[in-house]
Amino acid sequence: MMNRDDQIDDAVLAILSALHAEAGDGRARSAGPGMSLAKLSKRVEQRMSTLRRHLSALENAEIVSVALNEDGTGRAALTPFGMAIFDALDESQAATA
Exposed/middle/buried for residue 11 (C-beta within 10 Å: 0-12, 13-18, 19+)? middle
Query: Assign residue 90 a region: left if phi > 0, alpha if psi is -120 to 50, beta otherwise?
Result: alpha
Mean pLDDT confidence for 24-38: 73
Q: What is the DSSP string of 25-80?
A: -GGGGGG-SSEEHHHHHHHHT--HHHHHHHHHHHHHTTSEEEEE-TTS-EEEEE-H
Split at pLDDT 50, 70, 90, the class of 87 is: confident
CA distances (Å), 74 to each of 16, 50, 54, 90, 96, in order?
A: 16, 15, 15, 27, 36
Has residue 35 got a pLDDT over 50? yes
Fold of 10-92: Arc Repressor Mutant, subunit A (1.10.10)
Mean pLDDT confidence for 85-97: 78
Question: Which pLDDT belongs to residue 62?
Answer: 96
